[in-house]
Amino acid sequence: MVSQRTSTLLSAFVCLLSSAGTTWGHGHGMGVVKVVAEEGNDAILPCSPSTKENIESKLFDWKKDGQMEVFMYDAGIHYNNDLSGQDEQFSRRISHFQEQLKYGNASIVIRNTTMADSGDYTCAFPHLKPGGEIYNIQLVVQLTFKDRASEIRGASPKPYVSIYDVTDDGVQLKCEVQGAFPQPTLQWQDSDGKVLPAEEPRVSERGGRYSITLQTTVTSITTNRFHCVAKQENIGHVVNAEIIVPKKLFEDKSCHGSSMDGFLEF
């Protein structure tokens, strides 16, 4: 059974599908419902037989990619009580709408979705006449960006940022990342998240790992907080480091032209 909040979400979701003109799949392979969810959120996969009949005493079976057992319900027995055979990937993560079975609602909820949950699902009613019914649902789990350094080998470590130099043009900031794979992109941003112009990054590769250095020159004293952001699109990893530039460096000409490498490192 699921919460009232989830039931309300399902109702809104079905209405959204209807208003968007989404087509239900059926046993002859026509039409697929596409469901999109962000990684870590719950996903509702909708399903109901064409008859909308009471299915409390019926059998319906959810599979992923044609073979993985997601959720089976058989006249009150299912994978969350006495029925065995559920794939480990979905164990303790699937809910159904027990109170709505009487209205023909065979939808399920996949909790805390992961990228591995993306794929093609079928919802089958093998004993409905004539010949049973099968509905097709495609789940797309969208990657969200977060710090994955503790879970993915090769995820970029926190950038090493420093004040490299002070010139008449402004304060030069340097950002370095070492030993990352796949190759990350670096950006300098101000405190509002605005991307700052920067030099071409210097990239080197050794043993399949990338080291990158990115420099920028900041001139404005409207803010003295800056961030270097390292992002790896393929694995959904993002990490950043902040540097605070003393406002005096924007004003004190006596510092200009002096190498500051290693000064105020973070």
Query: 214, 229, 221: which is closest to 245 by C-alpha?
Result: 221
Are residues 137 and 45 part of one domain? yes
Average per-residue pLDDT in the chain? 86
Are residues 108 and 188 part of one domain? no
Inside any domain, residue 52 = yes
pLDDT for 4 equals: 46
pLDDT for 199 equals: 96
Inside any domain, residue 20 = no
Inside any domain, residue 66 = yes
Are residues 118 and 183 part of one domain? no
Range of the domain at 109: 33-142
Are residues 186 and 218 part of one domain? yes
Judged against a pLDDT cut of 70, whether residue 9 lies above it is answered with no
Are residues 131 and 171 part of one domain? no
Q: How large is the average pLDDT for residues 240-251?
A: 90
pLDDT for 255 equals: 53
Q: With bands split at pLDDT 50, 70 and 90, how would you rate the model's confidence at 252? A: low
Q: With bands split at pLDDT 50, 70 and 90, how would you rate the model's confidence at 15? A: very low
CA atoms within 13 A on the CB side of 98: 11
Cα 92 from Cα 28, distance rounded (Å): 32
Structure tokens at 248: 């005096």
Domain count, the chain: 2
HEC readout, the chain:
CCCHHHHHHHHHHHHHHHHCCCCCCCCCCCCCEEEEEECCCCEEECCCCCCCCCCCCCEEEEEECCCEEEEEEECCEECCCCCCCCCHHHCCCEEECHHHHHHCCCCEEECCCCHHHCEEEEEEECCCCCCCEEEEEEEEEECCCECCCCCCCCCCCCCEEEEEEEECCEEEEEEEEEEECCCCEEEEEECCCCECCCCCCEEEEECCEEEEEEEEEECCCCCCEEEEEEEEHHHCEEEEEEEECCCHHHHCHHHCCEEEEEECCC
Judged against a pLDDT cut of 70, whether residue 30 lies above it is answered with no
Inside any domain, residue 124 = yes
Inside any domain, residue 262 = no
Query: Tens digits of per-residue pLDDT, 45-70?
Result: 999 999 999 999 999 999 999 999 99
Structure tokens at 115: 């990228």
Judged against a pLDDT cut of 60, whether residue 163 lies above it is answered with yes
Neighbouring CB atoms inside 10 A of 55's CB total: 22
Are residues 177 and 225 part of one domain? yes
Are residues 224 and 167 part of one domain? yes
Inside any domain, residue 113 = yes
Are residues 173 and 129 part of one domain? no
pLDDT for 223 equals: 87
Cα 74 from Cα 82, distance rounded (Å): 11
Give the CATH number for residue 224.
2.60.40.10
Sheet holding 209-218, edge to edge: 202-206, 209-218, 170-180, 160-167, 258-263
Q: With bands split at pLDDT 50, 70 and 90, how would you rate the model's confidence at 250? A: confident
CB 29 within 8 A of CB 45: no
